[in-house]
Structure formats: structure tokens, C-alpha cells
């Protein structure tokens, strides 16, 4: 071992000299304890301190409850035939699976390795899938009849209901989040899950087969919420 | 919460990290949490100091690491080792810090630039700075592996698990980073 290598090994294994003094360590612990073990847990603390599988399951469960409640309020479409029901079941299961994956990406624990670029692939997929499904009106036929127009406005009430459902679903999922909301990928993953939930709810409610309405009114909630989320995080970082 | 009668104290080096963790997770034992903090905070601070610009930032990263450690305690399963679990959290916290700052991590700490009183540095302080500056010349992946293996004394398989890379990739990064450090510090010694 030459002199440089010996020096390098010695220096790399040594704690730097300007490291914490004992007093600093005690001060740092008091700050950590004030945020953790010495603080009475709030409801939010209790939610985000649940284990990761439980947090993901509750976020998905929250989305399913949201769809159920919304449909109880606005009503479920009545034109679904037996064949359509089977088609819908497959489509809804796929949407639910993707929504669960989006929430899992959002709520992934800090004790787990980050998914890095895979997270963004998943998020973009979750945002774009409703748009892709919206341009396939045959997939959403209830009784073999495509209803081209029944809506005065492409966005209309469906768009409003989608935004409300998506935002509420994302908010429920975010209640289980351990990170700050300035972490863009996690926030966008949560709203992508909300957008999928909104799309599923609207497809179960509205019988329209109008491609423009499906595209703008039913499937844009996730993208709109993602734009708001990104804007809000950028604004927060600049402050 | 105080330790029970006859139960080994959190400050006892004979008590394993895993035993402390079990007491902390199962019973919310504050002394066990403090014991784990005392064992790892200083090393984590040193690790962060070699990757970020300031002591304040390193303090903040240690604080964030233990905050996440506390929030994630329900995810800790009996039978797992505490150290790699904690280091995974620390690396994620550090990555998030760099991502928020949106720039390459600075590794030199210049006290004059930070308004600290000028004192004649000891040889070891000067060497610390040279090592930090040399570490700053490495890629982030090389620096991460070098610090975890040589500074934190983690084995290559442990480092591979922590950084999410194959064992061979980690060895290649360590070798290249180490050779680069040798070259940089050799140049410095020649000045």
C-alpha cells in the first residue's frame, strides 16, 4: 500500500473534525424529539405513521368509497347490458390496478429504494390512460348505441364532477403521505390516481359516447389537477 | 419512558440496535429512540457533511432522517437489521435535498465564505477539506459508493442493496472513484 492509498483510506474512514460536538448532538436530539417522540400525535401523524401497505390499501379504499358516494349522489347509468358489464368490469379492474400503482408510487416509504424514473413512467401513464381510453368510445358502449351528443358543453357538469371527485380522492390519499407536498413526483402521482378515480366514476355515470365530451369532460381531471399541483410546488419552491 | 427494572439501558453498548428498535417500535420507548440517535446521529452527520455545503444543512438532514425513521417505524419488521434500514432513509433524504436544491452537491465547506472566524486550520482539518474537495470531483454515484464503503464501512453487498445497483456495478463505481481520488490527492500532495 503506497503513501497516497494509506492516507486516503485513513481519511475516508475518519469522522470529519468539524463534526457534531456533544452539546450540538443533545441540541439536535431535543429538536428531533420535539417533532417525534415528545409530541402528542395528531390524526395526520397517526395516518402517516401506519405501515406502507396499510396506507396504500386505505388510499385505494378511500377512492372506491369516493366513487360509490359520488354514484349514490349523481346516479349510475342504466344502459349497461350484460355484455357491456363484462367489458366494464375488465376496464374498471385495469383502472383500479393503475390507480393503486399510482398511490403506491406516491406513498412509497423513505425506507424503500426510490423507483427513480419508473415513478415518472407510471405517473405519466396514469395521467394519459384516461385520455387513451376516452378515444375508444366502443369500449364504453352500454347497449350498443353510441350517443353522439347529449351534452351542451364538452366539459359540462361531468368535468366539474370529475375535478371535485379527483381532488377529493387525491386529498384523501395525501392524508397518508409522509413527505412534504413540495415533492412533485409524489404529489402528481396522487392526483393521477385521483384523475383515474374521477374517470372511472364518470364512465359509470354518464352514458355519452361523444368522443369530445369523453376526452374533455371525463378524462381531463387528472391532467388539470397535475398542472395545478406542479404550479403549486413551483410556487412554493420560489417562496 | 424509562427502562424497566433489570432491563439493559439504551446506552449499554451490549444492547443491539435491533433490540433497541424492537423496544422503540413495540413500546414507543423514548430511551430506545434516543439510544439509536446517539449511536447514529454523529456518523450520519459526518456522512452528510462530506456531501453538502454547510453544517446547518447536515444538521437538517440528520433531523429529517430521524423524522422519517420515526414515521416509518411501523414498516420495520423484526429480524431486519437496523443499520441498512436507517441508511436507506438517510440516502433518500439526502437525494431529496439535492433534488430540491436542483444542483450538484457542493462538498467544500469554506468557513471564510460562510462568515466564520478565520483560524489557522489544523492539518487534519485541512485534509478534511482536501478530501471533501476531491470527493466533489467524483460523480454522485461514485461518491455515494465510496462514502458508504470506506467511510461507513458497509460491505459491497450492503452498499449494492442500499443504492439499488448490482454488486458488480457498485464495485466498478468504487474502483473508478477510488482511483480518481487517489489521483486527485496525489496531485495535491505533489503541490
Q: Which grid cell sits at B5?
A: 427494572
Whether residues B87 and B125 share a domain: the answer is no
* Highest-confidence segment of A59-68, B132-141, B152-161: A59-68
Q: Is residue B128 part of a domain?
A: yes
pLDDT surpasses 50 at B129: yes
Report the alpha-carbon distance of residue A15 to residue A6 in Å, rounded: 16
Residue B11 touches partner A, C-beta closer than 8 Å = no
What's residue B110's pLDDT?
46
Q: In sequence order, which residues have a C-beta less than 8 Å from that of residue B118 and are 6 or more positions away?
A: B111, B112
Contact A29 B146 (CB under 8 A): no
Name which of A36, A183, A234 to mutate to probe chain B: the one with the most chain B Cβ atoms within 10 A of its Cβ: A36
Those residues of chain A whose CB sits closer than 8 Å to some CB in chain B are: 3-5, 7-9, 11-20, 24-25, 28-29, 31-33, 35-38, 45, 48-52, 54, 109-114, 178-179, 182-183, 237
Mean pLDDT of A95-112: 94
* Highest-confidence segment of A10-24, A65-79, B121-135: A65-79
Q: Which domain holds residue B65?
A: 10-106
Report the alpha-carbon distance of residue B145 to residue B181 in Å, rounded: 13
CB-nearest to A178 from B71, B76, B182 is B71
Q: Among B51, B86, B106, where does a domain finish? A: B106
CATH number of the domain to which B186 belongs: 1.10.10.10
Whether residues B96 and B129 share a domain: the answer is no
What's residue B123's pLDDT?
54
Q: Among B53, B77, B106, where does a domain finish? A: B106
Number of domains in chain B: 2
pLDDT surpasses 80 at A190: yes
List the single residue in B with minimal CA-CA distance to A50: B74
| pLDDT > 90 fraction of chain A, expressed in percent and rounded | 58
Q: pLDDT for B31-82, tens place per residue? A: 999 999 999 998 899 888 877 767 888 999 999 999 999 999 999 998 888 9
Whether residues B30 and B87 share a domain: the answer is yes
| Residue-wise DSSP of B119-136 | -PPPHHHHHHHHHHHHHH
Report the alpha-carbon distance of residue B73 to residue A146 in Å, rounded: 52
> Taking the domains of chain A in order of start, what are their residue ranges?
43-238
Whether residues B164 and B85 share a domain: the answer is no
Q: pLDDT for A117-173, tens place per residue? A: 888 899 999 999 999 998 887 788 776 665 555 555 777 889 999 999 999 999 999
Q: In sequence order, which residues have a C-beta less than 8 Å from that of residue A171 and are 6 or more positions away?
A: A194
List the single residue in A with minimal CA-CA distance to B83: A111
To the nearest whole angstrom, how far is the Cα of A39 from the nearest Cα of chain B? 11
Q: Is residue B112 part of a domain?
A: no
Mean pLDDT of all residues belonging to chain A: 87
Q: Among B81, B106, B131, where does a domain finish? A: B106
Contact B182 A29 (CB under 8 A): no
Whether residues B57 and B132 share a domain: the answer is no
Whether residues B133 and B157 share a domain: the answer is yes
Contact B45 A31 (CB under 8 A): no
Whether residues B87 and B122 share a domain: the answer is no
Whether residues B17 and B91 share a domain: the answer is yes
pLDDT-based confidence at residue A48 (cuts at 50, 70, 90)? very high
| Residue with the larger pLDDT of the pair A164 and B183 | A164
List the single residue in A with minimal CA-CA distance to B126: A17
Report the alpha-carbon distance of residue A232 to residue A238 in Å, rounded: 10
CATH number of the domain to which B79 belongs: 1.10.1740.10
Whether residues B72 and B31 share a domain: the answer is yes
Whether residues B132 and B95 share a domain: the answer is no
Task: Choose the weakest-confidence range: A82-86, A181-185, B86-90.
Answer: A181-185
Contact A16 B189 (CB under 8 A): no
Report the alpha-carbon distance of residue A29 to residue A17 in Å, rounded: 20
What's residue A71's pLDDT?
94
Distances (CA, A) of B95 to A190, B11, B64: 21, 31, 12
Q: Is residue B53 part of a domain?
A: yes
Q: Is residue B144 part of a domain?
A: yes
A24 chain-B contacts, CB cut-off 8 A: 59
Q: Is residue B87 part of a domain?
A: yes
Contact A19 B38 (CB under 8 A): no
Q: In sequence order, which residues have a C-beta less than 8 Å from that of residue A132 and are 6 or more positions away?
A: none
Q: Is residue B68 part of a domain?
A: yes
CB-nearest to B185 from A7, A20, A109 is A7
Amino acid at each position: 500500500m503506497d503513501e497516497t492509498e494509506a492516507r486516503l483510506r485513513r481519511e475516508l474512514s475518519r469522522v470529519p473534525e468539524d463534526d457534531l460536538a456533544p452539546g450540538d448532538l443533545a441540541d439536535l436530539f431535543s429538536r428531533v424529539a420535539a417533532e417525534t417522540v415528545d409530541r402528542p400525535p395528531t390524526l395526520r401523524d397517526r395516518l402517516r405513521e401506519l405501515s406502507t401497505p396499510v396506507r396504500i390499501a386505505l388510499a385505494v379504499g378511500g377512492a372506491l368509497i369516493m366513487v360509490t358516494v359520488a354514484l349514490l349522489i349523481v346516479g349510475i347509468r342504466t344502459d349497461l347490458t350484460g355484455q357491456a358489464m363484462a367489458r366494464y368490469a375488465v376496464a374498471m379492474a385495469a383502472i383500479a390496478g393503475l390507480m393503486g400503482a399510482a398511490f403506491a408510487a406516491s406513498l412509497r416509504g423513505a425506507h424503500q429504494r426510490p423507483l427513480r424514473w419508473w415513478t415518472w413512467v407510471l405517473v405519466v401513464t396514469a395521467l394519459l390512460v384516461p385520455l387513451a381510453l376516452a378515444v375508444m368510445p366502443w369500449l364504453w358502449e352500454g347497449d350498443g348505441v353510441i350517443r353522439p351528443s347529449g351534452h351542451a358543453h364538452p366539459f359540462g357538469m361531468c368535468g366539474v364532477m370529475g375535478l371535485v371527485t379527483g381532488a377529493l380522492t387525491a386529498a384523501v390519499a395525501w392524508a397518508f403521505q409522509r413527505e412534504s407536498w413540495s415533492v412533485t413526483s409524489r404529489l402528481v402521482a396522487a392526483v393521477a390516481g385521483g384523475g383515474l378515480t374521477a374517470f372511472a366514476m364518470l364512465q359509470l355515470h354518464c352514458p355519452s359516447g361523444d368522443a369530445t365530451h369523453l376526452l374533455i369532460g371525463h378524462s381531463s381531471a387528472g391532467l388539470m389537477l397535475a398542472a395545478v399541483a406542479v404550479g403549486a410546488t413551483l410556487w412554493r419552491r420560489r417562496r | 419512558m424509562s427502562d424497566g427494572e433489570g432491563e439493559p439501558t439504551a446506552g449499554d453498548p451490549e444492547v443491539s440496535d435491533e433490540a433497541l428498535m424492537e423496544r422503540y417500535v413495540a413500546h414507543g420507548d423514548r430511551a430506545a429512540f434516543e439510544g439509536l440517535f446517539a449511536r447514529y446521529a454523529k456518523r450520519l452527520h459526518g456522512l452528510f457533511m462530506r456531501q453538502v455545503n454547510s453544517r446547518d444543512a447536515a444538521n437538517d438532514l440528520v433531523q429529517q432522517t430521524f423524522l422519517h425513521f420515526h414515521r416509518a417505524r411501523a414498516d420495520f419488521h423484526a429480524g431486519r437489521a437496523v443499520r441498512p434500514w436507517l441508511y436507506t432513509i438517510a440516502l433518500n433524504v439526502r437525494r431529496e435535498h439535492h433534488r430540491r436544491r436542483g444542483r450538484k452537491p457542493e462538498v467544500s465547506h469554506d468557513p471564510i465564505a460562510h462568515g466564520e472566524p478565520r483560524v489557522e486550520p489544523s492539518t487534519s482539518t485541512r485534509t478534511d477539506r482536501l478530501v471533501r474537495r476531491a470527493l466533489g470531483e467524483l460523480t454522485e454515484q461514485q461518491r455515494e459508493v465510496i462514502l458508504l464503503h470506506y467511510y461507513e464501512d458497509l460491505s459491497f453487498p450492503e452498499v449494492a442493496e442500499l443504492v439499488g445497483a448490482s454488486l458488480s456495478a457498485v464495485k466498478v463505481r468504487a474502483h473508478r472513484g477510488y482511483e480518481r481520488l487517489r489521483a486527485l490527492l496525489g496531485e495535491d500532495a505533489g503541490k
